[in-house]
Amino acid sequence: MIRIRRAGSTNEPTGRVGSYYMVTTTDLVIGAAYLRCIGCNDEVRKPTAEFACPRCGDRIEVAYRREGAPDAAALRELWRERKTSAKPIDQSGVWRFREALPILAAGSEAVTLREGNTPIYRLARSAKSAGVDELWAKHQGMNPTGSFKDTGMTTALSMAREKGFEWVGCASTGNTSASMAAYAAYAGMRALVLIPEGKIAWGKLSQSLDYAATTVQLRTDFDGCVRVLGEVIGQFPLYLLNSVNPYRLEGQKTTAYEMMEQLGWEPPDHVIVPGGNLGNSSALGKGLREMRAMGLIGRLPKLSIVQAAGANPLVRSMRDSGGERLQPVKAETRATAIRIGNPASWKKAVAVLRETGGECLDVTEDEIGVAKAEIGADGVGCEPASAVTLAGLKKLTRSGFVKRGERVVLVLTGHCLKDPEYTMDFHRAEGDASMRKPPVLLDADAAAVIGLLGGMER
C-alpha cells in the first residue's frame, strides 16, 4: 500500500537563505541510488575525481535499486500538489520530482535557485516553416541563469556541498560556468571556471564575473579546457561539475518529467535536442526511459540529436561506425555553446538514439541563423545552439522522418540574451535576407516614422 507523505510534512527550513532540509525517505522513491559503470556495468563505490570507473575507465551513471513498481498516479498527484507549496524545495522544478532522484542523504540540504518550471510554448510560425501541424518549444533558457544547466547544477552542486568540498570547477563553453558560478556563490562555495579565450558569448562570460567566480580564460578550445581541468583535479581538491558528473544528469533528466507533465503525460512523437558534450541528450533519454519503467508514460518519443556541421563528432560516429567509435574533430561553429569536438557522454547519447529510434544529424551555419531568427519571430527566441533543433527538424520533415501530423517538441537550451552579438550580426549584416530585421535609422521626425510604416508590407 502506497502512502503519500504530504508536502507540508517535509523539509523544515534550516534558517539559511535558500537552504532547506531534504527528506528523501517518502514512500514513493523509485529506489536506492548507487553509481554504475556504463562499460562494465559494475557498481562503482568510489569513482575517480573525473567520475570514471576505476576498473575500466568508462563513464558512470546513477542507477536505482527498485523494489516493485511505484504508484504512478500517486507520484503525478504529489508532484502536481507541490506546485502550490511555499517551500523553496517544492518550488524547484527539479526537486519537485525528488522521488525520481533520491541522491541526497536524509538531512542534507539542496541548493536551489528555483530552477526548472520552465514554460512549454506553441511555435506557430516555426511550425509552418518546418512543415508540421503541432510544434512545441520546451524553453530551458527560462531558468535562473538562462540555460538548462541550472537543472543539473542544483543537484550536482548540492552533492558537492554534502561531500564537504570548498571548491567546485568546470570547463565550459559559457553556460555551465554561468550556472555553476551562480549556484556556488549562492551556497557560499568557491568556483573555478575554465573557458576558451575569445570563444564564448559575452552574456555568459559576464555572468561568471558577476557571480564572482574565479574566471580563467585559457588559450585553447573547450576540449583543451577539459584536459587542463582534469590535470588540476588530480592535484587540487576541487569537485568537478562538468556533465561527466552523473549527478548533473539526474537533475537535467527532470526536464523530461516536466515536459511530459505539461503534455498531460502523453508523450510527443519527437523530441529534438542540440548535441554538444552530449550530457543533455543522455539525461533526457534517461528520464524518458525511467518514466516508462515507472509506468508514468506508455511509450518513448523518438529523441533526435542535432549538431552544427562544424562540430559534428556524433554525426560522424553514427555514419562511419554506427556509433561504435568516436573520432574527435577540431570543432568550429558560431553556435559557440556546442563548439565541442570530443564529447564526453557520446556513448550514453548513442544508447539513447538506439533505444528511442531517434536520428542524429547536422545543420549548416546558415541554417542555424535562419532557424534562430524564425524562433525569434515567433516571440520566443533562443541562443544559436538551441536553434539547431528547428534547423534539424526542417531536414527531418524533408526526409520524411518526421510527418506533418506528428507532435514535436524542440528543447531550447539557452536564452536569446546569452549571445546578442550573434543576433546583431545576423540582422545588421550577415543574415538571410528573408529573415533580416535590421534597425532603421531616421531623423527625429514623426512624418519620417509614419512614412516608413506606410511603405511596409505585411
Which stretches of the chain bind ligand F0G, using CB under 6 A? 147, 149, 172-176, 243, 274-281, 337-338, 383, 385-386, 413-414
Closest CB to ligand F0G among residues 10, 254? 254
Helix, strand, coil percent content, the chain, rounded in steps of 5: 40, 15, 40
CA atoms of 144 and 118, how far apart (whole Å): 10
Separation of CA 292 from chain center? 20
CA atoms of 265 and 280, how far apart (whole Å): 21
The H-or-E segment that residue 74 falls in is: helix 72-81
CA neighbor of 361 nearest in space, from 331, 388, 329: 388
Q: How far is the CB of 334 from ligand F0G (least distance, A)?
A: 13
Closest CB to ligand F0G among residues 20, 346? 346
Closest CB to ligand F0G among residues 52, 278? 278
Q: What are the grid coordinates assigned to 126, written together? A: 516555426
Q: How far is the CB of 24 from ligand F0G (least distance, A)?
A: 26
Closest CB to ligand F0G among residues 233, 294? 233
Q: Which residue has the cell 516571440?
A: 379
Please state whether beta strands 302-308 and 270-274 pair in parallel, antiparallel, or not at all (unpaired): parallel
Q: How far is the CB of 276 from ligand F0G (least distance, A)?
A: 3
* Secondary structure E strands in 374-422: 407-412
Q: How far is the CB of 229 from ligand F0G (least distance, A)?
A: 11
Q: Which residue has the cell 592535484?
A: 235
Please state whether beta strands 109-111 and 19-21 pair in parallel, antiparallel, or not at all (unpaired): antiparallel
Q: How far is the CB of 429 from ligand F0G (least distance, A)?
A: 23
- Helix, strand, or coil (residue 425): helix
Q: Classify residue 67 by burial, with Cβ atoms within 10 Å: 0-12, 13-18, 19+.
A: exposed
Closest CB to ligand F0G among residues 115, 162? 115
Q: What are the grid coordinates assigned to 366, written together? A: 546558415
Q: How far is the CB of 200 from ligand F0G (least distance, A)?
A: 8
Q: How far is the CB of 201 from ligand F0G (least distance, A)?
A: 9
Closest CB to ligand F0G among residues 254, 386? 386
Q: How far is the CB of 322 from ligand F0G (least distance, A)?
A: 20
Q: How far is the CB of 261 from ligand F0G (least distance, A)?
A: 22
Beta bridge partners of 407: 134
Q: How far is the CB of 393 from ligand F0G (least distance, A)?
A: 16
CA atoms of 392 and 245, how far apart (whole Å): 28
Q: Which residue has the cell 520566443?
A: 380
Closest CB to ligand F0G among residues 276, 323? 276
Output phi, psi for 144, to 5 deg.
-55, -40
Closest CB to ligand F0G among residues 100, 385? 385
Q: How far is the CB of 411 from ligand F0G (least distance, A)?
A: 9
CA atoms of 391 and 306, how far apart (whole Å): 8
Asked if residues 60 and 44 have their Cβ atoms less than 8 Å apart, the reply is yes
Asked if residues 406 and 270 have their Cβ atoms less than 8 Å apart, the reply is yes
Q: Classify residue 75 by burial, with Cβ atoms within 10 Å: 0-12, 13-18, 19+.
A: buried
Closest CB to ligand F0G among residues 151, 172? 172
Closest CB to ligand F0G among residues 11, 413? 413
Closest CB to ligand F0G among residues 112, 386? 386
DSSP H helices in 195-278: 202-210, 222-235, 246-262
